[in-house]
Amino acid sequence: MTPFTSHRGLVATLDRANVDTDQIIPKQFLKSIARTGFGPHLFHDWRYRPDGSPDPDFPLNAPQFHGASVLAVRNNFGCGSSREHAVWAIQQAGFSAVIAPWQQRGGARVPGFADIFRTNSAKNALLTVELAEPEVEEIFQMVARYPGLEATVDLDRQRVVLHLAEELAFHFDVDPGVKERLLHGLDDIGLTLQHGDALRAFEARHDPQWSGPPPSPPRPAT
C-alpha cells in the first residue's frame, strides 16, 4: 500500500448528501474482484445519460473539475452496503482524499462518513477527512468563487490548506491507528508482519520442533 503523507491537488465539489455506495459504483460493475477498471464507472448513473454520453449537468463533468484529486462532499457519504469497489472507483478516478462534514445533533457528533466506508478507505490508502460543517461549507463557497482552487491535505500535520491569496487552513482529527498505517503504507498484512518476531517466538514456545515455515511436501515418484 502506498504511504500517504501529504497531497496537493485541484478541489472538486459534489453538493449531494447521503451518497450511498450503489451511487458511487453501481452494482453491475461489481463482477470483477480485480482492483482495476473502476474509475470510469464512478457515479456512473449520474455522470452519463442513457445513451452513454456525459451528462453536462452532473457537477464532476464540469470542465473546471477535470483532473481534480481532492473531493469535497456533503454529510453521510458512503452509506449503504459495504463494497471496497466504491473506494477503488474513487481512487482510480484520480482522487486521493475526500472531505465531508461532521454534524452536531442533540449534543452528539455525527460522522461525515459511513463507518464501513471510512474503514474500507483506511485499508486502501484513501484519506477521509472530517471537518466541521461550516468549514466544509466554506470550502464549497471558495471553490465556487475561485475556479481551479487547489488544496493541500496534510495527514502528518492533520490540516487542509486552501491555496488562496491568503491561505485558509482547517485542522482535522484522525484516529491514531489509521494515521500510522496511512503514513507508513501498511495494509492488514503489513501490520501483521510488523509483529513477525513475536509471532515466531510464540510458535517456538508452543512447538519446540517449529523452526520456520513447513517444508514442501515430497514430490511423487516418477
pLDDT in tens, 131-180: 999 999 999 999 999 999 999 999 999 999 999 999 999 999 999 999 99
Is 25 in a helix, a strand, or coil? coil
Distance CA(12)–CA(140), nearest Å, equals 9
- C-alpha cell of residue 69: 484529486
Q: How far is CA 214 from CA 194, 200, 205, 209, 218, in A?
A: 21, 13, 16, 11, 12
Distance CA(219)–CA(173), nearest Å, equals 56
Q: Report which of 176, 134, 169, 173 is spatially closest to residue 151, judged by C-alpha positions.
A: 169
Q: What integer best gives the mean pLDDT of the chain?
A: 91
Task: Identify the residue whose cell numbers are 475556479.
Answer: 147
Among 29-33, 71-75, 161-165, 214-218, the range scoring the smallest mean pLDDT is 214-218
Q: Which residues of 153-183 are buried (b: 16+ CB within 10 A; e: fewer)?
A: bbbeeebbbbeeeeebebebebeeebbebbe
Q: Thinking of the domain 6-206, which architecture would CATH place it in?
A: Alpha-Beta Barrel (3.20)
Do residues 80 and 114 lie in contact, with contact meaning Cβ atoms separated by under 8 Å? Answer: yes
Q: What pTM did the predictor assign?
A: 0.86
Query: Over the stretch 82-135, which tens digit does the pLDDT of each residue have?
Result: 899 999 999 999 999 999 999 988 889 999 999 999 999 999 999 999 999 999
Query: Over the stretch 7-46, which tens digit does the pLDDT of each residue have?
Result: 999 999 999 999 999 999 999 998 877 789 999 999 999 9
**Domain range summary for the chain, segments of one domain joined by +:** 6-206
